[in-house]
Amino acid sequence: MQTDEIGRKAIHYTSSLIPLLYYFFFERRQAVVIMIILTGLITLGEVLRMRLPLCRQLYLKIFGRYIRTHEQENSLTGATFVFWGGLLTIWFFPKEIATVALLFLTVGDSTACLVGMWIGRIKLVQSRTLEGALAFVAASLLLTWWIPGVAFWVKVVGAVTGSLVELVHRRVDDNLLIPLISGMVMYVLTNPVTFPFK
């Protein structure tokens, strides 16, 4: 297993602080304001990195071993999409659903990658494996079972949805798609549309 990828996923795990700090310490409006500021600063830093050689050199010196080849020049890094995903998920969904969806991303996605690299044998899509997909669901449920307000079966459906997104996404970064799509599915299941006719 590549040491750099382990370090990358360790950073990904620490981003679980975003949903946990939000859940325990902040109201939705406060969290949105904080995330707008942080996401804006990080995005500005990314633009400077892509436009100014000096900023790019400094960034690569500090974080170069943790970013993928396609992220080194004119592409946003996965970390920036984590913050965008966090901002939009907190903005759109109730606190409990947003927290669960973001933990699916920070814990489930990272665990899927590590397990797939470690013991993955059954290939599903490109480098994605069945073992990784199952690890995504298991880790997601293990880390979110304690959050009230979202039925366990809804979390199961949301986790499976997140795992499928991680498997099949192509053009849009999964750090953005996983929390938004799994959050939308859980929101719909928690708040079903009631039609005004029998």
pTM, two decimal places: 0.87
Tokens encoding 198: 């029998």
Give me the DSSP letters along 131-173. Answer: HHHHHHHHHHHHHHTT-TTS-HHHHHHHHHHHHHHHHH--SS-
- Give the SS3 label for residue 128: strand
The CA-based dihedral angle spanning residues 121, 122, 128, 131, taken in that order and rounded to the nearest 10 degrees? -80
Q: What is the pLDDT of residue 128?
A: 83
Q: Tokens 């991680």 map to which residue? A: 166
pLDDT tens for the chain, residues 1 to 198: 555 667 777 888 999 999 999 999 999 999 999 999 999 999 998 888 888 888 777 777 766 665 665 555 667 888 899 999 999 999 999 999 999 999 999 999 999 988 988 887 888 877 788 899 999 999 999 999 999 999 999 999 999 999 999 888 667 888 999 999 999 999 999 987 644 444
Element (H, E) at 116: helix 110-119
Q: What is the pLDDT of residue 66?
A: 58
Q: What is the pLDDT of residue 53?
A: 80
Residues with Cβ within 8 Å of 105's Cβ and at least 6 positions away in sequence, in order, are 82, 85, 162, 174, 175, 178, 179
Length of the chain counted residue by residue: 198
Q: Tokens 């814990």 map to which residue? A: 107
